[in-house]
Amino acid sequence: MSHDSENKDKKGSNIEPWKKETILGLIITGLIVLTILISIIFAWSSFKELKPNEWGDFLAGSIGVLALTWLIIGYFLQSKELSQNTKALIAQEKELSKQTTEIKAQAKATRDMITFNENRYQDEKNEKLTKAKGIFVYDNSKEIDTTTMRYIIRNEGGEISNVHVLCENKDIRIMGGASFLNKKDIFEITLTIKDSNQIINSALQSDRYRLPIDIDICYIDCFYNTHKENHQIDLSWLLFRRNRIKK
């Protein structure tokens, strides 16, 4: 109902100026015609003696006045129409500007939502990848002989497979691994000294007989991503002590 009333008001506002100008023009036209008729009636004795060309001049002058009157009225009507069209264009421009602002706001909200979803997806993905990694804890170590140590390693991370251990130290031979590990599963690695003299001499330079060894634990997570993690373990001080006494 409110839209209908607004439309009626708009139509009324558009028609009313035309009615006013038209009524005014008709009144002026009626007055001019009435004046001409009265002049002819009261001066008929003079008018009846006019020649055809004089009647033409008289009628031309009278009609010229009417034409000038309607020309002026048309000018004002056109001015009002142009003013209304200008107002309509300004209102349309404001509406378009408002729509443009709303579209920009919607586009920004959409971009923000997409960015939020992408970040959330990436965070969830990173969290899953982090949980899928292996977390290795050294449970126990045991000296097998004067050149060999055995380490028990527990997995506190996700399910992993194809676990194997590498060591770049050419004086150390390393063995061990597992085909598959769940959380809390353990596996063993064995470190054997190839050149005991060089390793022992390096360890004996420390009063605590400590020799850290860098190893790489390689595995594949449940998403089939390959990992290679560097860890450091210490060879037993008893091993070096015994070798020192043996020497």
State the DSSP code for 195.
S
pLDDT-based confidence at residue 103 (cuts at 50, 70, 90): very high
What pTM was computed for the model?
A: 0.51
Question: Using CA atoms, how far apart are residues 142 and 190, in angstroms rounded to an integer?
Answer: 10
Which pLDDT score, from 0 to 100, does residue 203 have? 58
Helix (H, G, I), strand (E, B) or coil at 160: strand
In tens, the pLDDT along 1-48 reads 444 554 555 444 444 555 777 777 778 878 878 877 887 777 777 766
Which pLDDT score, from 0 to 100, does residue 185 have? 93
Element (H, E) at 62: helix 52-132
Residue bearing the bigger pLDDT, 153 or 84: 153
Question: Using CA atoms, how far apart are residues 123 and 247, in angstroms rounded to an integer?
Answer: 57
**Backbone angle region of 177, left / alpha / beta, with phi > 0 → left and psi within -120 to 50 → alpha:** left
Beta bridge partners of 160: 181, 221
Tell me if 140 sits within 8 A of 186, measured CB to CB: no
Q: What average pLDDT is seen over the chain?
A: 79
Is pLDDT above 50 for 78?
Answer: yes
In tens, the pLDDT along 164-219 reads 999 888 878 899 999 999 999 999 999 888 765 655 666 556 555 567 788 999 99
In tens, the pLDDT along 118-162 reads 999 999 989 998 889 999 998 887 878 777 888 999 999 999 999
Q: What angle do CA 69, 75, 81 make, to 5 degrees?
A: 135
Query: Which range is least confidently modeled, 54-63, 96-105, 152-161?
Result: 54-63
> For the chain, how long is the longest CA-to-CA vector?
163
Give me the DSSP letters along 103-137. HHHHHHHHHHHHHHHHHHHHHHHHHHHHHHS--EE
Tell me if 192 sits within 8 A of 148, measured CB to CB: yes
